[in-house]
Amino acid sequence: MMKLQHLYDQRDLVHELLAHWRHDKDKLDWLDRFRLSSNAIYPFACDGRVQFLRFAPESEKRAGQLEAELSWLEHLETDGQVAVRAIPSLSGNRIERISIAQRTYLVCVFDGIDGQRLDWAEWDPVPRQALHACGQALAGLHEDGIRWRNNTHQLPWHWRDVLAWTVREVEAVPVLAPGALGLEAHGVPSSAFDTRPDVVHQEADRLTAVFDALPSGADVFGPVHFDFEMDNLFWQPDQQRCVPIDFDDAMCHWHALDLCKTIASVNDTLWEKAEEAGAQPQDPEWTAAAATAAQCVLDGYRSIRPMPDGMMAHKPDFDRFTALYGYARIVRAVAHPAEDEPEWMTGLRGHLGSLLRQRQALFIPEGE
């Protein structure tokens, strides 16, 4: 997530950035369906087809991050794998570095994907074919990542870099100021929050020791998507395939981490569907459905490539890594509250504060 001060609809800026790509000037109302998170994403039309303008301040991106992402997407296309495609600008560039009003933005455009977003599909009964294809798509991604890794100097960052960044970001903000996490009861600004850099450092060291002991050959380790979840997958039933988008969080890690996170997303989506149906997650039919859904993903994955025995057993450590990294991202995002923030942002701070406390509880002993 970007720092919260960047989470505003800046429509004049959007028009200036969009001018660098071909677009239909009579369909600019499509921009109203924008989304702001780790990037600003604005849908627009080009020859009647949806495309997506994506940008962020350069200060929000690591050096080489976007280049590595697009390099992998280009290799996937060359390798015959199907994924989201970057669209060149009018100048022929897939990335534009544009300075406006004393701020520099990294800007790119992606083509729209046909099909149905997988979390919006019918999940009662379980979409077996779609989930099998989801597993196949993830396996194909990992297979391609091995080949790309051997032929590029633009790899995404390594898990060691992620942990080092996590420690630095939390050490830079040892205490969150009052109000940084929204409002408490009766509308009182949240109290100052100790981010516990000491414990974050200890947890990073613990994870490093665990990961150093794992096998790291090409059969188990390499570029991973890290966000291969139901809202980033489009099911195309005619082709019997799932197409992934949003490679922004890619890193070099264990393939099993991707698979664990994907199955967790399957479970989360299924429980949401259960609640919508008025059921409880512990109801036998939904418990059975969760097991079926997970098996569909695993079967699809293993139909393309094996997952060595034992790697999925490291899920607790993969989960702690994900939580620790997410913790630092929230600390960075909320660190500087402003006095004139809109009400919706105060609410967002409260939501992020809840997530922050949940994640901190995973690596700080109870009662400490």
Q: Which residue has the higher pLDDT, 311 or 1?
A: 311
Counting every residue, how long is the chain? 368
Give the span between the Cα atoms of 123 and 110, in whole angstroms.
28
Residues 334, 348: Cα–Cα separation, whole Å: 9
Q: Are 203 and 363 in contact (CB under 8 A)?
A: yes
pLDDT, one tens digit per residue, over 80-126 is 888 999 999 999 999 999 999 999 999 999 999 999 999 999 998 89
pLDDT digit string, tens, across residues 249-270:
999 999 999 999 999 999 999 9
Residue 343 pLDDT more than 80? Answer: yes
Amino acid at 225: H
Q: Is the pLDDT of residue 13 over 90?
A: yes
Give Cα separations from 358 to 58, 157, 249 (angstroms): 30, 26, 22
- pLDDT higher than threshold 60 for residue 52: yes
Residue 286 pLDDT: 86
Nearest Cα neighbor of 249 from 131, 178, 188, 165 is 165
Quote the pLDDT of residue 16.
97
Instruction: Identify the pLDDT of residue 279.
Output: 83
The residue assigned the tokens 């981010």 is 195
Q: Please check whether residue 174 is in contact with residue 195, taking contact to mean a CB–CB distance below 8 angstroms.
A: yes
Q: Give the pTM.
A: 0.95
Report which residue type is found at 128: R
Q: Which amino acid is at 110?
A: F
> How confident is the model over 265-322, as pLDDT tens digits?
999 999 998 888 888 767 888 889 999 999 999 999 999 999 877 899 999 999 999 9
| Average pLDDT score over residue span 40-58 | 97
Strand partners, 244: 233
pLDDT the model gives residue 187: 84
Average confidence score pLDDT of the chain: 94
Give the per-residue SS3 of the chain. CCCHHHCCCCHHHHHHHHCCCCCCHHHHHHHHHCEECCCEEEEEEECCEEEEEEEEEHHHCCCCHHHHHHHHHHHHHHCCCCCCCEECCCCCCCCEEEEECCEEEEEEEEECCCCEEHHHCCCCCCCHHHHHHHHHHHHHHHHHHHHHHCCCCCCCCEHHHHHHHHHHHHHHCCEECCCCCCECHHHCECCCEECCHHHHHHHHHHHHHHHHCCCCCCCCEEEECCCCCHHHEEEECCCCEEEECCCCCCEEEEHHHHHHHHHHHHHHHHHHHHHHCCCCCCCHHHHHHHHHHHHHHHHHHHCCCCCCCCHHHHHHHHHHHHHHHHHHHHHHHHCCCCCCCCHHHHHHHHHHHHHHHHHHHHHCCCCC
pLDDT band at 22 (very low <50, low <70, confident <90, very high): very high
**pLDDT reported for residue 309:** 77
The pair of structure tokens assigned to 200 is 């974050």
How many of the other CB atoms lie within 10 Å of CB of 314? 17
Quick one: pLDDT at residue 153? 86
Return the structure tokens found at 20. Answer: 């660098």
pLDDT at position 287, please? 87
In this structure, what are the phi and psi dihedrals at residue 116, rounded to the nearest 5 degrees?
-110, 130
**Considering only CA atoms, which of 180, 225, 195 is closest in space to residue 324?**
195
Please tell me the distance from the alpha carbon of residue 340 to that of residue 337, in angstroms, as a whole number.
Answer: 9
Q: How confident is the model at residue 367 (pLDDT cuts 50, 70, 90)?
A: low
What is the amino acid identity at position 76?
L
Per-residue exposure over 4-23, b if at least 16 CB sit within 10 Å of its own CB, e if not: bebbeebeebbeebbebbeb
Looking at residues 324-343, what average pLDDT do you find? 93
pLDDT of residue 116: 96
Q: pLDDT for 162-213, tens place per residue?
A: 999 999 999 999 999 999 999 988 889 999 999 999 999 999 999 999 999 9
Q: Is the pLDDT of residue 356 over 90?
A: yes
151 has pLDDT over 70? yes
